[in-house]
Amino acid sequence: MPKRIVVGISGASGVIYGIRLLEVLRDHPEVETHLVISAEGAHTIKIETGRNPREIAALATRHYEIDNLAAAISSGSFRTDGMVIIPCSMKTLAGIATGYTDNLLTRAADVTLKERRTLVLVPRESPLHTIHLENLLKLAQMNAIILMPDPPFYIQPKTLDDIIDYVVGKTLDYFHIEHDLFRRWQGG
Ligand SMILES: Cc1cc2nc3c(=O)[nH]c(=O)nc-3n(C[C@H](O)[C@H](O)[C@H](O)COP(=O)(O)O)c2cc1C
């Protein structure tokens, strides 16, 4: 069976991270990507990149509409290697943390948690208030990986692409997908 990764793009700033992840995974024929973009995710893609969300959807192996709760990824019986939400808005975070799964993005994340699969969340908001922090803590305690999209400056990023590739590369690490998107620390 190919590796299957569910990719969610929500309406937080930084949709470019999700787009870059899809572009990188397109060059990995051993990996299937199953994509769901929230309504605000699609809106943010237009605002932040000027690109058409349909064009982004075409990067994935399969794409599902946000209100299609009968999609394959809505069921735990559809086997996957896990899910990443990149970027993850505070609203989507809250839906997952409270089990309120009223769209395919939050439902697929809920399934990932209940099936004890890898869930990587790339949250984006600043500053954070108590509810955001409580939701992050709750999900970290359920073994979700909270991957903040902030770069380590010891890699000496020269461009925004360096920073984006670092976050995408770190995401791939959790799914055991080989890449050379950034230079790994070998000691000072
Ligand atoms: C351009 C833009 C940037 C946004 N950035 C953020 C953000 O960084 N973090 C966040 O939590 N919400 C952000 N929002 C607000 C969310 O889009 C909003 O809360 C929305 O309801 C999230 O819905 P979703 O989680 O279903 O995508 C942004 C909205 C827009 C239009």
Which CATH number fits the domain that encloses residue 40? 3.40.50.1950
- What is the position in ligand 1's atom list of the atom closest to the CA of 41? 27
Q: 89 in ligand 1 pocket by Cβ < 6 Å?
A: yes
Q: 12 in ligand 1 pocket by Cβ < 6 Å?
A: yes
**Cα torsion for 36, 42, 45, 46, to the nearest 10°?**
150
Q: Would you say residue 122 lies in a domain?
A: yes
Ligand 1 pocket: which of 37, 89, 93, 121 to mutate (most atoms within 8 A of CB): 89
CB atoms within 10 A of CB 122: 25
Q: 90 in ligand 1 pocket by Cβ < 6 Å?
A: yes
Q: Which DSSP letter does residue 185 get?
A: P
Q: What whole-number distance in Å separates Cα of residue 19 and Cα of residue 24? A: 9
Tell me the one-letter amino acid at 103.
N
Q: Would you say residue 16 lies in a domain?
A: yes
Q: 13 in ligand 1 pocket by Cβ < 6 Å?
A: yes
Q: What whole-number distance in Å separates Cα of residue 148 and Cα of residue 132? A: 13
Q: Would you say residue 181 lies in a domain?
A: no
Q: Would you say residue 113 lies in a domain?
A: yes
pLDDT band at 147 (very low <50, low <70, confident <90, very high): very high
Q: Would you say residue 179 lies in a domain?
A: no
Q: Would you say residue 187 lies in a domain?
A: no
Q: Which DSSP letter does residue 184 get?
A: P
- What is the position in ligand 1's atom list of the atom closest to the CA of 44? 1
Q: 40 in ligand 1 pocket by Cβ < 6 Å?
A: yes
Q: Would you say residue 7 lies in a domain?
A: yes
At 125-142, the pLDDT tens digits run: 999 999 999 999 999 999
Token code pair at residue 65: 């509409």
At 70-107, the pLDDT tens digits run: 999 999 999 999 999 999 999 999 999 999 999 999 99
pLDDT band at 24 (very low <50, low <70, confident <90, very high): very high
Among 15, 87, 13, CA closest to 51: 15
pLDDT reported for residue 1: 81
Residue pair 5/30 in contact by the 8 Å Cβ criterion: no
Q: 162 in ligand 1 pocket by Cβ < 6 Å?
A: no
Range of the domain at 161: 3-174
Domain tally, the chain: 1
Among 32, 38, 7, CA closest to 168: 7
Q: Would you say residue 183 lies in a domain?
A: no
